[in-house]
Amino acid sequence: MFTGLVSDVGEVLAIEAGANLNHVRVACSYPVETMALGASIACGGPCLTVVARGEGGNRSWFEVDVAAETLARTTARHWKQGTRLNLERSLKIGDELGGHIVTGHIDAVAGIVAIEDFDGMRRIDIRAPHELARFIAEKGSVALDGTSLTVNSVEGDVFSVLLIPHTLKVTTWDERRVGDEINLEVDLMARYAARLFEAK
């Protein structure tokens, strides 16, 4: 489990592409001794398992395997050397839950349809897949590229979020452009509430 509070921005160092599995090395600032094999790290949203770790130069790195399902459902299929990723390590009991409960299980890829910059902030309009739009509510939470954000407005399948200067500084959101694809995870409680309603 995660909170959607990005703790580092990593960089893809190398990708070994297979038929149904990509092996990816990601540089980070986490001390290598604190990254256990088998630990979970959210990489741009998807929860991935550390299968190797090490140090090179002045940076730590970890490696993950990205399977076919993740490649099909997320932007991981577009990763290449140099791609920057929002990183978050898994939540520990006793940690502050500053964002919202995030699983790292991506529902779909959404698309940026408009960006407005003002006063050091950025408003982004995003089109969600139609079947997921019903889970997105004004003032509710959503995880985008692994970042916990509050929904400002909703019009049909399009919703907006507002990024403050701090978020733009410590994440990859300052790099986003109109037309970019982003990883979308809808709020877990909204999904369960909808399922309970349907069950009635």
What's the pLDDT band for 197 if we cut at 50, 70, 90?
A: low
Cβ contact 24:120 at 8 Å:
no
- Residue 147: active-site member: no
CA distance 73 to 44: 13
Residue 58 has pLDDT above 90, yes or no: no
Q: How confident is the model at residue 195 (pLDDT cuts 50, 70, 90)?
A: low
% of the chain surpassing 90 pLDDT: 78
Asked if 150 is an active-site residue, the reply is: yes
Among the listed residues 39, 67, 133, 137, the single catalytic one is: 67
**Residue 1 has what pLDDT?**
83
The CATH fold of domain 8-89: Elongation Factor Tu (Ef-tu); domain 3 (2.40.30)
pLDDT at 71: 95
Catalytic residue status for 118: no
Which residue, among 97, 109, 121, has the nearest Cα to 173 in the 3D structure?
121
Tell me the whole-structure pTM to 2 decimals: 0.91
Amino acid 190: pLDDT: 66
* CA 72/CA 115 separation, integer angstroms: 26
11 vs 112: CA distance, rounded Å: 22
Question: How would residue 193 be classed by pLDDT, with cut points 50, 70 and 90?
Answer: low
Domain range summary for the chain, segments of one domain joined by +: 8-89, 108-199
Active site residue 100: no
Does the domain at 108-199 match CATH 2.40.30.20? Answer given as: yes
For the ranges 106-115, 135-144, 182-191, which has the lowest average pLDDT?
182-191
**Would residue 74 show up in a list of annotated catalytic residues for this protein?**
no
Asked whether residue 144 carries a pLDDT value surpassing 80, the answer given is yes
CB atoms within 10 A of CB 30: 20
Domains 8-89 and 108-199 share a fold: yes
To the query of whether residue 23 is one of the catalytic residues in this protein, the response is no
pLDDT band at 14 (very low <50, low <70, confident <90, very high): very high
Pick the catalytic residue from 49, 114, 153, 193.
Answer: 49
What is the pLDDT at residue 119? 95
